[in-house]
Amino acid sequence: MSTFKAPKGTYDLLPPDSAAYLAVREAIAAPLRASGYGYIETPGFENVELFARGVGESTDIVTKEMYAFETKGGDRLALRPEGTASVLRAALEGNLHKAGNLPVKLWYSGSYYRYERPQKGRYRHFSQVGAEAIGTEDPALDAELIILADQAYRSLGLRRFRILLNSLGDQECRPVYRDALQSFLRGLDLDEETRRRIEINPLRVLDDKRAEVQKQLTGAPVLRDHLCDACTAYHEEVRALLTAAGVAYEDDERLVRGLDYYTRTTFEFVHDGLGSQSAVGGGGRYDGLSEMIGGPALPSVGWALGVDRTVLALEAEGITLDLPAATSVYAVPLGEEARRVLFGLVSELRRAGVSADFAYGAKGLKGAMKNAHRSGARYALVAGERDLAEGVAQLKDMESGEQQAVALAEVVDRLRQTV
């Protein structure tokens, strides 16, 4: 055993469990790739200021959870706590918005980092797949992204998730609501830190999960009652498009999400089998973020879905993904000549698209066959001196136990058709 362990609040993904995480990432990415979204990768760390400006100075993410550090050269950097600000920064830096085809549609997958109190479903290092549609203000784009996430979850077999939907208004109507909310909140019995938040971003107080705060929020002004006509019409169009697509959602007037950049449409995917960490993903429209980080006006919308949380949701519903075996054929040579011949056949099988492995380490027949069973392979390919003299190898079906001789020249074609 190693002297070292994974840092607190992190985890290692190890086979065979890691196969489920890969399958979840693939399932989330598949509908995006089929809908015009191109893949983007950004660095694991960025300038601290990108997140302070973009995510918001008052958010827990920036004030408490960000891993910030100073480099030897004096740069202030932070491990990325979320994906949107980095993706938008990269799109602006790469001038993707100037290529003439808006929206710029991007998807990404990676690890993110927040200094949080570790608990099941909430880690200091976590994995997300996200999507961003940059540069177009259109309710159909908001609806498209929600529909694609719904499609991804359903393709995995998930059924017990719900979509919560709200509108946060825009720069026209939100200030009026902000004033009304601040007036209400200032009259409550709140701790000093929460009172400070009232002045910086009062909507974040609505997102406070503490029972003693939620109890006092009964009767708080509702943003929906303060939406301007344009935001109301926009939100109704999103709702109508989702309904027409057969995607069920619930209106949640308290939904604000934990990031300052959201405007208009905001949504969350929650799963009732996960306890307190019920959100499996979420997102919304962020029309002002580009200007916040020094770019031109680029109205945009996006989401991020948690891979870890999605795996927990699958477990909560008792869903076992139908994952292909990592190995279809396991070659067991008996003797030096058989090692040379079967190693060559394994290479040929792999080139032919058949997943194959080999009994390395010169084990005897018994030990090698144990490894073949552990590998999950459907077939074992066994050959000794007598087999080679006859120009054959023994092909053993690991499920039925049946075994038959197959000509060495026909092994690859036979397995390519069978596996």
pLDDT, tens digit, for every residue of 307-324?
A: 999 999 999 999 999 988
Task: Return the percentage of the chain with pLDDT > 90, whole number.
Answer: 69
Instruction: Give the strand pairing for 250-251 and 161-167.
Output: parallel
**pLDDT, average across residues 110-138:** 91
Q: What is the mean pLDDT of residues 242-253?
A: 96
Q: With a cut of 70, say whether residue 365 has pLDDT above it.
A: yes
Which DSSP string corresponds to 58-126? Answer: TSHIIIII--EEE-TTS-EEEE-S-SHHHHHHHHHHTTGGGSS-SSEEEEEEEEEE-----BTTB-SEE
CATH of the domain spanning 329-418 = 3.40.50.800
Per-residue pLDDT of 371-390, as tens digits, reads: 999 999 999 999 999 999 99
Residue 119: pLDDT above 80? Answer: no
CA distance 222 to 101: 37
Residue 199's DSSP bridge partners are: none
- Helix crossing, 18-33 with 139-155: angle to 10°? 140
The enclosing H or E element of 42 equals: none
Other CB atoms within 10 Å distance of the CB of residue 9: 17
* Domain locations along the chain: 18-173+227-316, 329-418
Which neighbouring-strand residues pair with 383?
Answer: 333
Average pLDDT over residues 257-272: 85
Q: What is the pTM of this model?
A: 0.89
CATH number for the domain formed by residue range(s) 18-173+227-316 = 3.30.930.10
Predicted local distance difference test score (pLDDT) of residue 248: 97
- At 159-217, the pLDDT tens digits run 999 999 999 999 888 888 888 988 999 988 888 888 888 888 788 788 777 888 888 88
| pLDDT band at residue 121 under the 50/70/90 scheme | confident
Give the CA angle between residues 160, 164, 169 to the nearest 5°: 170
Q: What average pLDDT does the segment 32-39 reach?
A: 98
Please report the pLDDT score of residue 118 as a whole number: 78
Q: CA–CA separation, 132 vs 325, rounded Å?
A: 33
Task: Verify cis geometry, omega within 30 degrees of 0, for the bond prior to 118.
Answer: no
Locus of tokens 């990592």: 326
- pLDDT of 65 > 70? The answer is yes
Quote the pLDDT of residue 155: 97
Cβ atoms of 159 and 151 within 8 Å: the answer is no
Question: Average pLDDT of the chain?
Answer: 92
